[in-house]
Amino acid sequence: MSTAVDKLTDENQPGQVSQQAPHPLLKALFDNWEEPKYQVPSQQSKDVTLEFGDEGRSLEEVRFLQTTRPSQFDDEDELVQFKDTLEQFEEVLMPLGGFLKRFNEQLANLSKELESLKTKATALSSNLDRERELEQKYSPMVGDLAIPPEVVREIYNGEVNKSWCEVLNVIEDKRLIYEKYTEEHHMELVAPLKQLLEALNKKALERIKMFVVSKIKKLRVVGTPSQVVQSELLGAKEAFNYLQKQEPSLALELKQAYIYTMRWYYKAYFHRYVSSLAKLHLQLYEKSALIGGVQSYFHTQQTEYTIGKRSSIVTAEDPTVMPAQIAEHNPAKSCVEVGFRSFNLALCDNASVEFLFMSEFFGENVNALLEQILDPTYQLGSAYTKSLITNSYDIFGVLIMIRLSQSLIFELQKRRIPAVEDYLNLQMILLWPRFQQLVDANCENLKRAASKSSAITMISTSAPHPLTIQFTNLIYGFHQLTHKETQTTQEPLSQSIQRLRNDYEQVMTKLSKNTKQAELFLYTNYAHVLSVLTECESSTERDHFQVLVSAFEPS
């Protein structure tokens, strides 16, 4: 007899057993269900067969219905309903079962893939460890030997400037490293790289040479500011230092080329400047400016030879010089010291700039190089100074130029540029002898004037003699140009003042003999000198004339 499970799971096809296995869930529900024990029906129940024996029922079903009590049909209805419910659940759960089956298959495949990935990961980890060991072992060597591509590109195509010079340090470092590896018998590694490094070195030297040559050629163009070119060269000074180490002979040739170029540059520049200064309208002083000259007797406020405000140029803090255009078109009268100051101040400023540039760029024998560059310019300066003082009796102008030279020397000593000091000392050698000549001319002219009748006729006891006025102007001007830092008894000025004073006193004594009031005459003249010298600071002459005034003061 078929079980209830078999009956509930057939496909409503009488007489055939379902080939489909029951769903596991249904099987689990009926595993513990017991079939009812039915009794064999009697003959009295044959009529029941007529009621339920419809066509289409199997014999087993008929027998089952005949042995079933009527009360059991209620339970069967419930089971049919339950079967329907289970079929509904089965329809719902069947797709879920397929999904779970596929999920299990995918999970199995994923598990296999994870196993494969785990194997691969283990292999990769092992390879990574080996690569890390190799990297730790060989990366220092690769870093030492390899030349970065950007270094090669910069050497060949980069602009020569400060950043380009930093690439030269890489080449120098690589050279030292290659020498180290060569000493350690790694010739097979270093040989090809040394060839590449040598090629880079040659290219770098070539580019440095072309850079310096281009700047030197630029200096030879008239009107090019040297400071601009020097600034560009200083931007690549490390490149020239590199050239000096690698190719000293080539560096020396470039240095000589620069020196000859700047020698020509400054000579041409200052030649044009001297030509412009020569067009200044100078205030000329002839022999009439000497003591006892024509001005002594017919002078006016305009023609009187005095120091005036000329001494202020010595202490002026204005660092500017007269531009060439102004010098050429200035209609005003100028004294000799104006052009002298402009030329020598411009020379000192340019020499200072050149000295600082060469100290930073070349770094050695700068004074000798500067003197070699400026020697033609020094000659121009000396010739210009000679043109100013020759045939001129402007003794104040000569002394002012001496003081200007001394001031420039003091400034150059602060800057520590001895090469230009030598030039200014040569200027002093030109100026001091000319000053002495003018002092001699004043002394001689003073003596000659005392012998003239015109000097005797101008003797007066109420007013100073014209010779006294001019002598006082001269001595006062000398004191205005005497400063504490330059005042010394060994300086020619001190001796010249003393000589003029002695000759003046002799002349006054000689003239006093031509008047009955000799002491009053002398007192009047000496008092005038003292009143003017009172404006000066501590002065030996002032104390001396104070004694004379006291000696001849009327009682």
pLDDT-derived band at 59 (thresholds 50, 70, 90) equals confident
Return d(Cα 64, Cα 264) in angstroms, integer. 140
Beta bridge partners of 334: 282
- Using one digit for the tens of pLDDT, what is the confidence trace for 74-109? 677 788 888 888 888 888 778 887 888 888 889 989
Q: 225-260: buried (b, 16+ CB within 10 Å) or exposed (e) per residue? A: ebeebbeebebbbbbbbbbbebbeeebeebbeebbe
**Contact in structure between 518 and 456 (CB atoms under 8 Å):** no
The helix (H) or strand (E) run that includes residue 535 is none
Range with the poorest average pLDDT among 68-77, 83-92, 169-178, 369-378: 68-77
- 477: nearest Cα among 497, 491, 495: 497
- Using one digit for the tens of pLDDT, what is the confidence trace for 140-160? 666 667 788 898 899 999 999
Give me the pLDDT at residue 3, please: 43
Q: Would residue 56 be called left, alpha or beta, if left means φ above 0 and alpha means ψ between -120 and 50 degrees?
A: left
pLDDT-derived band at 24 (thresholds 50, 70, 90) equals low
- Using one digit for the tens of pLDDT, what is the confidence trace for 413-472? 988 888 899 999 999 999 999 999 999 999 999 998 888 877 778 888 889 999 999 999
Q: Is the dihedral of CA 286, 289, 293, 296 positive or negative?
A: positive
Can you state the percent helix, strand and coil of the chain, rounding each to 5?
75, 0, 25
Return d(Cα 501, Cα 468) in angstroms, integer. 11
By CB atoms closer than 10 A (0-12, 13-18, 19+), residue 132 is: exposed
Cα–Cα distance list, 167 to 163, 190, 420 (Å): 7, 20, 38
- 251: nearest Cα among 236, 260, 261, 241: 241
